[in-house]
Amino acid sequence: MIIELCGLPASGKSTFASLLAQEHGAVIARVASRTELMYRAFAFVLQYPLLSITTAYYITQNAPSSRLLYTKLANTFLHHSARLHKALRAKGGLIVVDEGLFQNIISIFERPMMPSVIQNYAGRFPAIGAIVCFDIPDHIREQYARKRGYSAREEIADETSRQAWLAAAKQNLRAAVSGAGSSKMTIYTICTAEDYGAVIRQIKAQNT
């Protein structure tokens, strides 16, 4: 079963993925080399051309600078797609994708979008077992960000633009997850670190 983790930067996704791997035998979908990254990203585009064209269109409509354009392309077409491609090719077991296609919702859009637009885009994503959405309060995320020593986009966008993007990303991700839930995909939501245990137990039950 494939579990995808999505959420704003510094939400605890990687910590949760490591916990699933270390204590519960999950395999984290990681790309081992630049060659594998390019191969899997290219293979994903060939397998899902319409989705890839749609992603490229939204990126071009939401790239206010060349640095952001490059960042969005690298995140969506390379890292997110390659990780999911690897997970989709895995055989059995519990596979964790730490930032896959649902993370595109955060990476791409700079402003709040109509829920129907977000849900139509997310509806093109390949089916997976479940999504774990990290909807962490802003003050907790800021604490996590200070601990790791950096915040997302702090070097490529001014603070006003960055905060506007974060607010839009939260709204758009909620719309995407809501649409996924209505399509009968299993959705788990984590709001604090205290939710980890309960969500892990539900995932294990679903995977048995």
For the chain, list the domains and their CATH numbers.
2-30+93-207 (3.40.50.300)
57-109 pLDDT tens trace? 999 999 988 999 999 999 999 999 999 999 999 988 899 999 999 999 999 99
134-193 pLDDT tens trace? 999 988 888 888 887 777 777 777 888 888 999 999 999 999 988 876 667 899 999 988
pLDDT confidence of residue 148:
78
Phi, psi for 125 (deg, rounded to 5) = -70, 145
Contacts of 4 (CB under 8 A, 6+ apart): 84, 96, 97, 99, 100, 101, 102, 128, 130, 131, 132
Cβ atoms of 145 and 201 within 8 Å: the answer is no
Cβ atoms of 192 and 138 within 8 Å: the answer is no
Whether residue 204 is predicted with pLDDT greater than 90 in this model: the reply is: no
Q: Please tell me the pTM assigned to this model.
A: 0.91
pLDDT confidence of residue 42:
96
Q: Half-sphere exposure (CA, 13 Å, Cβ side) for 155?
A: 4
* Region for 114 from its dihedrals, namely left if φ exceeds 0, alpha if ψ lies in -120 to 50, beta otherwise: beta
pLDDT confidence of residue 138:
86
DSSP state letter for 183: T
